[in-house]
Structure formats: structure tokens, C-alpha cells
Chains A and B, each alone.
Chain A
Amino acid sequence: MNCFEFRRRILANPREKTREQEQHVSECAACANLAKEMENFEARIHDAVLVPVPEALAERVLLRHKIRSPGRLGVWAIAASLMVALAVVIQLYRGAADDENRVVAAAVLGDNHPAVAAISYVLDHEPQLLKEGRSGDPAVMRSALTRLGLALPANGITVRYLGKCPVVGGTGEHVVLQTPFGHVTLILVPDQMFAPRVVVADRTMTAVASPTRTGGSYILVSDSLTSVRQIEKMLM
């Protein structure tokens, strides 16, 4: 191996160390220096490539997968789920206007309902997201609000976090708000209609998932039904 061939190989793949290369290094001081220099240089490239990975990324992937995928449990399981969902829908439509705000237990709707999944996401991931303090693009949130025909009041509400989150069948705009009624999570889903409107209680949280006239949906999650209702009024 000559110097030209050695340099060509070390620049293309510094990790590769063949017997021929090792022999050449032992005989050529200039190439030995280059090899050492390349080792340090490669370490710098390696360090630069290792950008920080968001906390709990794998867990978020698995959560979304769980929400999206009905699994391979077969037609019977899907049919049974549909029957339960149909029963819930009939039950919800049967009531009067007051039933719009009747709180349903999470067990009735199942883990795959958007409102129940949203509560799980908020409980499992939001503390970490708030701790990281990163934030998304306010323009994206404003655009989603406009598409849904909603508006955030100018006063009294602070946006603490903006980002994306998994929702049933896709992705939503995840907004964490500090409001006069406490901490509220708003999830905007302009492309999907979660109908009918549902208010659900699960563990310590209450959520409402509601369709909008524009064909999209929003989900609000908070630790009290009062907060959810108050902020919902402010958004309209």
C-alpha cells in the first residue's frame, strides 16, 4: 500500500484498519501522524452527530402505536369494540341537552377513546415536557385554532408549552395553558372529527373531546370539570 491509497482509504472510512494499513503506518511517519489526527477528528464528528434525544421518545412512540394500532386480535375483538362504541354513542345521543356535559367513566369508553388517551398522555408525558421547557411554533398553534374556529383570549392565559402529540389516528397540536382556573391542556386536531362530544373522568383528570363546526376537534384536559368548562367557554 502506498501513501495515496492509505489516505484515500482513511478519509473514506477511518474506522477500517486492515493489516495493510497497519503495516503502512508502521513504515510511514507522515501517514502515522495523519492516522492519529483522523482519530481525533473522527471523535469530534461523532460527538457532533450525537444530538440530544428528547426524553421518553420510545415511550411516546409506543403510546402512539398503542393508540393507532387495533392490533391483530381478530375481527371479533374489533366487532366487540364497535358494539361497545355503538352502545356508548346511542346512550349519549339518547339524553337531553344537559347530557352533553354528563361525565362518563373512562372504563365505559375504553383506552382507545381520544379523550381517555389524552388523559393518559397528559399524566404520563406532560410533566417531563414542561420540565424540558422546549416549545413549538406559535404560528402552527394559531393556524390550528383558526382552522377550528377557536380563539385564545388575549388576557389571563399563558401558554406554557407548545408541541405535537399523538392522538387517535394522527397527530394533534399540544398546548399547555396556565389559566385563572388552573393548569389546562388543549389538544387541537383540525383534521379529525371526534363526535359526539364526550366528557370523561379518569384517575384525577377530566377531559372533554368535542367536534367543531369546521370538521375538526379539540380536547381539553384538566384536574377539574369546572376548569374544563370555563376554558371551553373562553375558546368559543
Chain B
Amino acid sequence: MLFESEKSKFETLVKAYSPELYRYAYWRCRDRFVAEDLVQETFTRAWQAWEKLRDEKAAKSWLYTILRNEHARLYEGKRIEVDEAQELDEIVDTSNPGAYESFEMSDMLKALPPGYREPLVLQVLGGFSCAEIASMMNISEGAVMTRLTRARLALRKMPGPVTARRMKAR
């Protein structure tokens, strides 16, 4: 009976968080097939470590952390180092604001260096606070705030969706 009850809780968790985890996985690897594999592996690991989940309220951040670790284990050869100034300069040419007119928001998100994209996705998609993101990413809260600020500043340099502008022009 106890097993059945735990199994039922696990199934509820799978149904509740699969879509959100898939989206997080997608923004980590930008490959739909790999993203689905990551979600599968995340829940397999979660079930194996089920006893470790003491507080059900923490399930969401627990699952995100498992997925993050799985991605690192399976697909990252090394830890991503973030050069906080240079990498954004490489993708946003401030001298030519029109250079990114063809980029839609999703393209710009894809173009962001992973170290900047990840806290943004965790905040926008997962609704996590800066402190929670800091804990997940093993960096300071201040570093999270800096990355979020710089990521948004980089995205704001984009003039606007091409499609929207075309619609206006008509």
C-alpha cells in the first residue's frame, strides 16, 4: 500500500512537471530529442532517489537540479565558464543596433551564452527566485542578478520581432 501511494505521488509529479522540465531541458541543449531523453533520465533518477525527497514542496527545484546534473553528466564535457563581459559583447554589437533585426526573441535567447540564458530561463519558466537560482547553479546571488541584468540588456537591444514589424508595415 505504501509503495502504491508513493507510486501515485511519483505519477502526479511526472504529469505536473514533464512539460516544464522538457522546456528547461530544451533551453539547455536546444535539441528536442535530447530534451525528451533528459526528461526521461531525470524521472528515472528521481524515482531511484525517491527517499531523498523529504519535502514535497521542494520537488520542483529538486527535479530541475536532477535534470541540470544529468545534462552535465551526459552532454557537457566540461563546466561552462562564463566570462561575464566578453561573451555578451560577442553576440550584441552595440555599434550596429540594426544588425539583429532578423532575430526573433527565441533566436536571441538561443544566441545568449548558456551561463546567461540559464538563470533567465530558470526565472521566467520556473519562477525561481535569485537565491534559488544561485543555489541551483552554485554561484552567488549577486552573480545571478548580474547575469540576469546583462541577459535582459542584451535581449533589449533587439529592435523587435520581424513578424510584428512586417504586420505594422502593412
Chain A residues packing against B (C-beta within 8 Å): 8, 11-15, 41-42, 44-51, 53-54, 57-58, 60-62, 64-65, 68-69, 71-73, 134, 136-137, 163-164, 166, 171
Going nearest first, the 10 A-B pairs with the smallest beta carbon separation are: A48-B105, A12-B145, A58-B18, A11-B149, A48-B106, A53-B19, A58-B15, A12-B148, A57-B18, A11-B152
Minimal beta-carbon separation of B13 from chain A (angstroms): 10
- The number of inter-chain residue pairs (CB within 8 angstroms) is 100
Most buried by B among A134, A136, A164: A164
Minimal beta-carbon separation of B61 from chain A (angstroms): 17
Q: Known interface pairs A12-B145, A71-B3. Does A45 touch B124 (Cβ–Cβ under 8 Å)?
A: yes
Closest A residue, CB atoms, query B152: A11
Bound form: Cα–Cα A57–B148 in Å? 30
**Chain B residues near A71 (CB-CB < 8 A):** 3, 7
Among the 9-residue stretches B36-44, B52-60, B68-76, B88-96, the one with 4 or more Cβ atoms under 8 Å from chain A is B36-44
Cβ contacts B13-45/A at 8 Å (1 or 0 each) = 011001100110011000011001101100110
**Chain B residues near A14 (CB-CB < 8 A):** 152
Interface of B is mostly: helix
Minimal beta-carbon separation of A158 from chain B (angstroms): 21
The interface on chain B, measured as residues whose beta carbon lies within 8 A of the other chain's beta carbons, has a size of 43
B97 within 8 A of A: no
B120 within 8 A of A: yes
**Chain B residues near A68 (CB-CB < 8 A):** 44
Closest A residue, CB atoms, query B110: A48
Closest A residue, CB atoms, query B150: A11
**Chain B residues near A50 (CB-CB < 8 A):** 23, 125
B84 within 8 A of A: no
Cβ contacts B139-166/A at 8 Å (1 or 0 each) = 0000011101100110110000100000
Pairwise interchain contact A134-B149, C-beta atoms closer than 8 A: no
Cβ contacts B102-115/A at 8 Å (1 or 0 each) = 00111001000000
Bound form: Cα–Cα A65–B11 in Å? 10
**Chain A residues near B10 (CB-CB < 8 A):** 65
**Chain B residues near A73 (CB-CB < 8 A):** 3
Pairwise interchain contact A49-B23, C-beta atoms closer than 8 A: yes
Pairwise interchain contact A62-B11, C-beta atoms closer than 8 A: yes
Q: Known interface pairs A51-B23, A164-B37. Does A44 touch B161 (Cβ–Cβ under 8 Å)?
A: yes
Pairwise interchain contact B44-A65, C-beta atoms closer than 8 A: yes
Pairwise interchain contact B153-A61, C-beta atoms closer than 8 A: no
Pairwise interchain contact B104-A48, C-beta atoms closer than 8 A: yes
Bound form: Cα–Cα A182–B31 in Å? 32
Minimal beta-carbon separation of A74 from chain B (angstroms): 9
Q: Known interface pairs A13-B148, A58-B14. Does A171 touch B105 (Cβ–Cβ under 8 Å)?
A: no
Q: Known interface pairs A11-B152, A62-B11. Does A49 touch B40 (Cβ–Cβ under 8 Å)?
A: no
A57-B18, A61-B18, A171-B40 are known; give 16 further A-B pairs, CB within 8 A.
A11-B153, A12-B130, A15-B127, A41-B152, A45-B105, A50-B23, A50-B125, A53-B18, A53-B22, A54-B32, A54-B36, A58-B18, A61-B43, A65-B10, A68-B44, A171-B37
**Chain A residues near B15 (CB-CB < 8 A):** 58
Bound form: Cα–Cα A24–B116 in Å? 28
B123 within 8 A of A: yes
Our pick among A13, A53, A69 for the contact of B123 (Cβ within 8 Å) is: A13
Our pick among A11, A47, A65 for the contact of B43 (Cβ within 8 Å) is: A65
**Chain A residues near B127 (CB-CB < 8 A):** 15
Minimal beta-carbon separation of B131 from chain A (angstroms): 11
Minimal beta-carbon separation of B112 from chain A (angstroms): 11
Closest B residue, CB atoms, query A11: B149
Pairwise interchain contact B124-A57, C-beta atoms closer than 8 A: no
Closest A residue, CB atoms, query B18: A58
Bound form: Cα–Cα A59–B44 in Å? 14
